[in-house]
Amino acid sequence: MSQKMKNLREVTSKVIEQMFFMNEETVPDTYDAKYKYCAYIDHAELKINLCCGNDLTKILTENFLGTEDFDENDMKDVLKEILNMIAGNYVGEYLREFPDSIPVPKIISFSKNAKSNNMPCETLFYEGLPLRISIED
């Protein structure tokens, strides 16, 4: 694992723990590595992806909003906000010379749950569900 990826994993774990009150878990014996949403930042000097399945996205959204009353747009907004917090912490800690303001994250929804591709990534687990994070070296 590259140093960039180690740093991103650490930042991601801290953000999820501090803002969403969820602790990273060990890898479960079995899990479904399918992702419905992918929030991303595509900047010349910072490319980060955060992919998440529907069930974990619902849990994160409920924790963040403090209510069970939300829709898919709220879920997408929460994932973009998570990525924004991760990127802000990452840049503040490891890319102090970042030349621009951090771009606003974008999100895509897969019509069918997408399986993980071969892009270098780290998978963190919360509530037994995978959250995939990747950064371009």
Domain 3-135, classified CATH 3.40.1550.10, yes or no = yes
Q: Cβ(102)–Cβ(91) under 8 Å?
A: yes
d(CA 59, CA 17): 13
pLDDT above 70 coverage of the chain, percent: 94
**Cα distances (angstroms) measured from residue 70 to each of 9, 52, 73, 96:** 28, 17, 8, 36
Model-level pTM greater than 0.75?
yes
In the chain, where are the structural domains located?
3-135
- pLDDT given at position 34: 87
In the beta sheet, which residues pair with residue 49?
40, 134
- Whether residue 8 contacts residue 90, with contact meaning beta carbons closer than 8 Å, is answered with yes
- pLDDT for residue 115: 58
pLDDT at 98: 86
Q: What is the pLDDT of residues 86-131, one digit of tens each?
A: 999 999 999 988 888 899 999 999 876 665 555 679 999 999 999 9
- Count of Cβ atoms closer than 10 Å to residue 14 Cβ: 15
The span from the CA of 28 to the CA of 97, in Å, is 38
Structure-token match 């924790």, residue found: 63
